[in-house]
Structure 1
Amino acid sequence: MNGDLVAPSVKPGDRVLVEAHAGLDIKDGDEKYIIVGEANILAIIEE
């Protein structure tokens, strides 16, 4: 790690598989989100 910024490998709306108990649950009105670090993403699910 050298401090360089790197673009994320996922984009909003992508379906991903994450490690158990990873992430932070956030609620915005009726919407629910889970904030997850990219290191906790195991796979991107293709439809």
Structure 2
Amino acid sequence: MCHEQCQYPVRGGSGIHEERVETPGADRAIPGFFARPEGDPVPSVLLIPDI
């Protein structure tokens, strides 16, 4: 299941910068959030909520 409107899952002084992204799917784009820790370069994580 995928909701049309998703809220940012990362909040509150966590030192993480997030941005909304979309991943192409078979018949529509899948909404997701790209979360990246602020500061030193470290690996990033793609969070795709509620699929």
Q: TM-score, normalised by structure 1?
A: 0.27
Higher helix content, 1 or 2: 1
- Greater relative CO, 1 or 2 (CA 8 Å, sep 6+): 1
